[in-house]
Chains A and B, each alone.
Chain A
C-alpha cells in the first residue's frame, strides 16, 4: 500500500489523530517540561512565582518529612514485592482449572481491584478501628488486653496500609498470571506428570519457568505502584499522615504542597522530579522487558 492509496486528502490522518495529539502535547508533554521549570521557582498554588535557582532542591535535602517518606517507600516496596509476586501466582493456580462456578470465584477475587482505594481504605479503617472487627475478635479470643492501635501507631499504620495494598492488588496480578498460565503448554505438564514428577516439582520446573516473563513484568509493576502509593495512607490516616505526619508517602507530600495558602508549587515540582527519578529505574526495566517480548 502506498501513501496515496490509504487516503485522498493529506490532512485526513491529522484530523483523526488530532485530538489525541493535542492531548499528548497539552496534558502530557507540556506538564513534563513545566514540572522541570516550576521546580526552579517559588510558584504558589494561587499563582505567581519567580526563579529561585536550586532553593527547592536544597530544601529537599534537609526535609526530615521527605526522609521519612522515602523510608516508608522503601519499606512499602520491600514488603509488597515478595508478597504480591508470589501470592497472586498461587491464587491464579487455584482458579486456573475450569471447575463449576470458577467464573464466580475469579470475578469475586477481582472485586477489590475495581473498588476505589478510598472505599477500600474506609472499609479497612472501620475493620481495623480501635473498636472495630479485628480488635473485637482479638479481645474476644483473649489475644489482646487493649485494642491494637493499627491506625494511630507510626509503624502499625504503615503496615496496615501495606496490607491493604497487598489485599487490593491480589486480583489484579492474579489475572496477569492467569493469562500467562494460559500460555504455558499443557503438554509439558502432562509429559512431566507421565514421567512421575510430583506436583511440587512440576510447579518448580514447568510452571515457574513458563510464567517467568509475567513474573518479571509484575515485579516491576509492583515496585512502581508501591513508590506511587497515596490513597491508602491518606485515607487510613485521615489526611494527617499519621502521628507527627511520619506516615506520609512522597505523593502525599506532593499533594500537601500543591494546595492551600501554605502550599508551594515549586517545591512540590521538585518532589515530583524526585519521584520520577526513583520510579524511572523500574520503568526502564519494564521498557526493556517489553522490547524483549515484542
Chain B
C-alpha cells in the first residue's frame, strides 16, 4: 500500500486514541484483574476494605487449594474438559463430513436436508431445552456427562458453516481430481479440507468455548454435585458456601484462565478471518 496523507493521525490525535484505548482496556480487563487480585489475597487481608487495595499485600495460592477442599473443583474442570472434548470432536468431524457431502456430492434429497438444517436456526436452544431434557431422560442419560455433551455434539449451525466454506472451494479443483480418478475420500482429504482450514478452526474454537462456558443445559441435566461441570459447580459454590469471596474468586479464575489461554493462543486465526471479511454482516 502506498503512503497516503489521509488517515495518518497527528501525534496529538494518536495520543488521544491510545488514551481512549487504555480507558476501555481498564473497563474490560479491570474486573478480571480485580478478581485475580482477590483470589490471591490471604485471609489476613481485608477484602472488604473501604479503601480497596488493588494488589494483594502478600500474594498466596492458599485460596486455590482451599477451594479444592470445599468443592471438587479439579473434577469439575476434568468434567468440563470431557464435555468440551466430545463437542469438539463431534462437531469437527460430523460437521465437516456433512458439510462436504451437502456441498460437493450430488444426491436426491440434498435440498430438503439443507432446508431443514437452515430451518433449525430460527429455533433458539432455550425453546427446546425442556423437551431436549425429556429426550435425554428417555435415553437414560440424565445426570451423566454424555447427556450434557450429546445434543450439542453436532450443531446445525456448524454443519451450515462448513457447508458454506466447502461451497467457496472452486469447482475446478474437484473436477480436476475427478478426472484423475480420485475417490470421494481422497477429494475430501486432499482437495477440499486444505481449503476450509480457516472455517474449521473457527468452528473448533467456538465449539470449545461454547461447551466450556455453557451453564443452562448442564444445570438442567446434572443433579449429583460430583458430576457438575465448572460453571454449574461455581454457582453451587457461590450459592452454598457464599461466605468467602476469596474462594469464589479462585474458583472463577480456574474456570476463566484456561479459556483465555485457548483464545489468546488461537486468536490470530479468528481475527484473520475477521479482517478477510469472513464474518460478513
Q: Which residues of A contact B (CB under 8 A)?
A: 1-3, 5-8, 10, 12-14, 16-17, 19-21, 23-24, 26-32, 34-35, 38, 43, 45, 47, 91, 94-95, 97, 99, 103, 105-112, 114-119, 122-127, 129, 131, 133, 136-137, 139-140, 167, 170-171, 175-180, 182-183, 186, 189-190, 193-194, 211, 213-215, 217-218, 224, 228, 230-231, 234-235, 238-239, 251, 254-255, 257-259, 265, 268-269, 272-273, 275-276, 279-280, 283-284, 287, 293
Do A231 and B216 form a contact, CB below 8 Å, given A16-B105, A26-B135? yes
Which one, B32, B248, B279, contacts A179 given CB within 8 A? B279
C-alpha gap A126/B274 in the complex (Å): 34
B21 to chain A, nearest CB (A): 5
Within 8 A of A (CB), among B45-80: 48-52
A258 touches B6 (CB 8 A): no
CB pair A228 B124 closer than 8 Å: yes
Contact between A279 and B128, CB atoms less than 8 A apart: no
What residue in chain A is nearest B116 (Cβ atoms)? Answer: A24
Contact A28 B245 (CB under 8 A): no
* Distance of A77 Cα from B277 Cα, bound (Å): 28
Determine whether the beta carbon of A136 is less than 8 Å from that of B235: no
C-alpha spacing A85/B274, complex, angstroms: 19
Q: Which residues of B contact A276 (CB under 8 A)?
A: 123-124, 127
| Nearest B residue to A11, CB-CB | B107
Assembled-state Cα–Cα distance A10/B101 (Å) = 12
Q: How large is the interface on B (under 10, 10 to 19, 20 to 34, 35 or more residues)?
A: 35 or more
> Which secondary structure characterizes the binding site on chain B?
helix
Bound-state Cα–Cα, A254 to B98, Å: 33
**Residues on the B chain within 8 Å of A103, using CB:** 267-268, 271
For chains A and B in complex, what number of residue pairs have CB atoms within 8 angstroms? 301
- B50 → chain A closest CB, angstroms: 5
Cβ of B172 to closest chain A Cβ, rounded Å: 11
Min CB distance A92 to B, Å, is 10
Bound together, the chains give a CA A89 to CA B102 distance in angstroms of 36
By the criterion CB–CB under 8 Å, are B267 and A23 in contact? Answer: no
Contact of A182 among B137, B153, B242, B275 (CB under 8 A): B275
B117 in contact with A24 (CB, 8 Å): yes
Please list 28 pairs of residues, one from A and one from B, whose beta carbons are closer than 8 Å in the complex, sorted by A's number: A16-B97, A19-B98, A20-B117, A23-B94, A31-B132, A31-B134, A31-B135, A35-B127, A38-B130, A97-B7, A105-B21, A105-B25, A108-B29, A114-B259, A115-B259, A116-B213, A119-B231, A122-B238, A126-B35, A136-B52, A179-B277, A179-B278, A180-B280, A228-B126, A265-B134, A269-B131, A272-B129, A279-B127
**In the complex, what's the smallest C-beta–C-beta distance from B272 to chain A, in angstroms?**
10
A1, A13, A171, A228: which contacts B101 (Cβ < 8 A)? Answer: A13
Contact with A along B91-129 (1 / 0, CB 8 A): 000110110111011110010010011001111101111
Could you list 9 further interchain pairs (A-B, Cβ under 8 angstroms) beyond the known A23-B151, A103-B267, A112-B28? A1-B175, A27-B132, A38-B131, A94-B17, A110-B267, A119-B252, A179-B280, A238-B238, A293-B281
